[in-house]
Amino acid sequence: MKLSLGDIAEHISAKFYGDSQRQIHAINTLDKASEGEVSFFSNRRYLSALKSTTASAVILSEDDRKHCPVDSLVVDNPYLAYAKLANLLYPDQESIPGIHSSADIHDTATIHPSAQIGAQVSVGKNAMIGEGTVIGAGVIIGDGAIIGRHSRLYPNVVLYKDVVLGDRVKLHSGVIIGADGFGIANENGKWLKIPQVGTVEIGNDVEIGANTTIDRGALGNTIIADGVKIDNQVQVGHNVHIGKDTAVAGCVAIAGSTHIGERCMIGGACGISGHIEIADDVVLMAMSGVNNSIKEAGVYASGLPVMDVKTWRKNVVSFKQLYLLNTRLRRLEDNYTDKED
């Protein structure tokens, strides 16, 4: 696809400085973009790359235009404008209707004629696949699972029985939806498994990254609301509820029955305990551990940053007796105050 800079400026509502007839066929990074490519500038770390870019044009904010050696597309939010342009230049591939000969489809399954079913796929009893949906090679769809319209399951996704997906859902390879939650009860030192009889409901416009797992409910359902975006290798326990438009970065673990609000941003590798509530608009910085409910919107953190190992070893020794430090300090304060009197 080719677009003129003028058309691009209009599409992303940019103020434009330069030659509006120039033809653009791609987006690239500041340091790699060349003739016919647009780039964008939204992170100060790349200022020197901006100053020496050979892109045909750069999307940036008014304040940064002075650093731009080429044509400028000026917007308030360059990253968002880049996202819009990328969607224009690189649209999703449409489904190529048809069922691959090696796929195994149960007689009772309902597959929309416009859907695309890849090689080595297995579709179970009474499963339903909607209009324009693409099922990649090796995907396994359990009995009774329902997939909406214009969704895309990349190769080797597994949906357990009765899982429900909305429209425009993207599941990346290795995603497992609806495996049993970790429900076990202890009887005299032995574990008795608890049948997990709920399922998983995933709303519209949800995207889930590679090898992420979302367990089915023990009783009632695990729910991922509309517009949620989940990165790779995230674990979502049974009966969790993730509210609308929340984003969850990679390697996060969310234990069972926890409710996460809307528009939250959960940083990478966070751990969130079970049976708690996290309010709307909470931001968790990477590697935070949450073991109690968070009742107010805001930014929270708990991770410790790296130190050189010698300092770290000494700090760890002190940390092990941190409460004693507190006690010793108080004693000193008390005595000192006594002397003051």
For the CB of residue 29, give the shortest distance to its own copies in the complex, in Å: 5
**Which listed residue (21, 63, 66, 323) binds its own copies by CB under 8 A?**
323
* Rg over CA atoms, the chain: 26
Rounded least distance, CB 65 to its own copies, Å:
20
From candidates 174, 204, 259, 279, binder to its own copies by CB under 8 A: 174
Q: Kindly state whether residue 329 participates in binding its own copies, applying the rule CB under 8 A.
A: yes
Smallest distance, its own copies to C-beta of residue 198, A? 9
d(CA 217, CA 223): 9
Of the two residues 114 and 211, which places its CB atom closer to its own copies in the complex?
211
Identity of the amino acid at 136:
G
Which C-beta is closer to its own copies: that of 68 or that of 159? 159
In the region spanning residues 154 to 173, those forming contacts with its own copies, defined by CB under 8 A, are 154-156, 158, 160, 170, 172-173
For position 70 contacting its own copies by CB under 8 A, the verdict is: no
- Tell me the closest approach of the beta carbon of residue 106 to its own copies, in angstroms: 9
| Minimum distance of its own copies from residue 23's CB (angstroms) | 18
Tell the residue number behind the tokens 């930014």, with chain if given.
299
Q: Which of 63, 107, 186, 338 is the binder for its own copies (CB under 8 A)? A: 186
Pairing of strands 23-24, 3-4: antiparallel
146: CB partners within 8 A, 6+ apart: 127, 128, 163, 164, 165
Closer residue to its own copies (CB): 144 or 209: 209
Q: Which residues contact 201 (CB under 8 A, 6 or more apart)?
A: 164, 221, 222, 223, 224
**Site map 16..55 versus its own copies, x via CB under 8 A:** -----------xxx--x----------x-x----------
Q: Of the residues 150, 172, 238, 241, which is catalytic?
A: 238
Q: How far is CA 33 from CA 4, 24, 41, 60, 110, in A?
A: 16, 11, 12, 15, 46
Distance CA 114, CA 286 (A): 41
Give the binding range for its own copies (CB under 8 A) out of 15-23, 58-66, 68-76, 87-95.
Answer: 87-95
* Sign, CA torsion 142/143/144/147: positive
DSSP structural state of residue 91:
P
Is 238 one of the catalytic residues?
A: yes
Q: Which residues participate in catalysis according to the annotation?
A: 238
